[in-house]
């Protein structure tokens, strides 16, 4: 175990003087290299000789050479200085540096949005590894603990030490299968919504409190009969039952699993949901992590399968396009953390 108390008694700044002295074998040249006076470097050499109980620099004719102990110290000092420089370095090169990223996302996002960016990155940069896991209450705990790098979610119930980038927002809608007794209706009433059992999609541990809060204010409550971890399973159950399922509108619009489901606007006022990138503060300043965020964010922001209200407010959702040659080149450049 490292004796930190003992190290605290040593002026570790002297290691820079030691490095310069061992490289130059000359007090004056070492002083010039560190931009300090020769007298200051002489004092530093005296302290270093006391620390190591060795002259370090010795006369040999008209030259100054390293002592036996100094020669043994030199590679260790070089290794230490290089380690410090590595720790302080704020560069990441996706084409040179190995990095594994763990990303949590709901099944819809993984299948219809995220895969496009990750397929490109994993092929283009063979030193990057990606692990995609489901977004549930367990992965949410991992994210909050800093154990995964990014999550993509409409959940917004996080501690204050989490960072966020909002991708888009959307309305939620209520869906039923085409054989459902409600399918023949033009609109859904609040009584209809309460009368039938519900499927709750528990991505991230449950985002649908935005539905239950306004109902509770009205003195009402849904009859949730089944809770599922994914949109795919929710749609599957909805297809074969009279259960209702509330999901974001763009998920119904784009998911193949939601075909032959009828959607209704909500029969009461409900807040929109925001689709966001989330990450723990422990990753915020990491250069590789920031590179990944800056690469993924615009791809998510402009992906038509992830477009909600921005598609309605604009004329049309932008098309998903492959990475251009310029993008490919820029992605391969060394990325420097600036903020």
Task: Give tens-digit pLDDT for 15-62.
Answer: 899 999 999 999 999 999 999 999 999 999 999 999 899 999 999 888
Query: 305-316: string of b/e by CB count within 10 Å (b at 16+)?
Result: bbbbebbeeeee
Residue 260 sits in the same domain as residue 183: yes
Q: In Å, how far are 159, 173, 216 from 213, measured between CA atoms? A: 20, 16, 5
Share of the chain above pLDDT 90, in %: 63
**Ranges in the chain, pLDDT < 70:** 1-2, 4, 6-9, 86-87, 89-90, 313-339
CA 125 to chain centre: 18
Selection from 219, 168, 162 nearest residue 190 by Cα: 219
Query: Which residues fall within 8 angstroms of residue 282, CB to CB, at 6 or more apart?
Result: 146
Q: Using one digit for the tens of pLDDT, what is the confidence trace for 205-251?
A: 778 889 999 999 999 999 999 999 999 999 999 999 999 999 999 99
- In this structure, what CATH number is given to the domain that contains residue 223? 3.40.190.10
Is residue 94 in a domain? Answer: no
Tokens of 247: 């999901």
- Quick check: helix, strand or coil at residue 188? coil
For residue 7, what pLDDT is reported? 66
Query: How many Å apart are CA 215 and CA 212, to the nearest integer?
Result: 5
Residue 161 sits in the same domain as residue 278: yes
Which of 88, 121, 137 finishes a domain? 88
Query: 187-216: string of b/e by CB count within 10 Å (b at 16+)?
Result: ebeeebbbebebbbbbbbbbbbebbeeebe
Is residue 93 in a domain? Answer: no
Is residue 104 in a domain? Answer: yes
User: What residues make up the domain containing 182?
Assistant: 172-271
Tokens of 89: 């370095």
Whether the predicted model's global pTM rises above the 0.85 cut:
no
For residue 117, what pLDDT is reported? 85
């Amino acid at each position: 175990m490292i004796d930190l108390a003992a190290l605290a008694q040593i002026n570790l700044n002297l290691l820079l003087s030691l490095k310069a002295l061992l490289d130059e074998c000359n007090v004056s040249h070492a002083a010039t290299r560190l931009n300090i006076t020769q007298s200051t470097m002489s004092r530093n050499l005296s302290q270093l000789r006391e620390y190591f109980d060795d002259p370090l620099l010795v006369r040999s004719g008209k030259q100054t050479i390293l002592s036996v102990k100094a020669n043994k110290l030199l590679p260790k000092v070089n290794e230490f200085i290089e380690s410090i420089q590595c720790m302080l370095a704020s560069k990441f090169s996706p084409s040179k540096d190995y990095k594994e990223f763990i990303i949590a996302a709901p099944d819809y996002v993984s299948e219809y949005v995220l895969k496009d960016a990750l397929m490109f990155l994993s092929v283009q940069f063979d030193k990057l590894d990606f692990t995609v896991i489901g977004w549930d209450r367990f992965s949410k705990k991992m994210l909050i603990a800093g154990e995964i790098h990014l999550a993509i979610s409409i959940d917004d119930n996080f501690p204050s030490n989490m960072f966020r980038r909002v991708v888009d927002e959307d309305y939620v809608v209520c869906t039923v299968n085409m054989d459902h007794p409600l399918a023949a209706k033009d609109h859904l009433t609040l009584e209809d919504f309460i009368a039938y059992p519900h499927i709750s999609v528990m991505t991230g541990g449950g985002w649908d409190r935005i539905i239950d809060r306004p109902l509770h204010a009205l003195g009402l409550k849904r009859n949730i009969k089944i809770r599922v971890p994914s949109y795919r399973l929710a749609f599957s159950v909805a297809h074969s039952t009279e259960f209702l399922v509330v999901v974001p509108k763009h998920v119904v619009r784009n998911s193949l699993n939601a075909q032959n489901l009828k959607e209704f606007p909500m029969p009461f006022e409900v807040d929109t949901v925001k689709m966001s990138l989330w990450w723990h503060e422990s990753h915020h300043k990491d250069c590789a992590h920031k590179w990944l965020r800056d690469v993924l964010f615009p791809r998510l922001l402009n992906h038509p399968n992830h477009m909600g209200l921005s598609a309605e407010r604009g004329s049309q959702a932008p098309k998903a396009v492959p990475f251009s040659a310029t993008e490919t080149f820029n992605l391969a450049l060394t990325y420097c953390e600036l903020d």
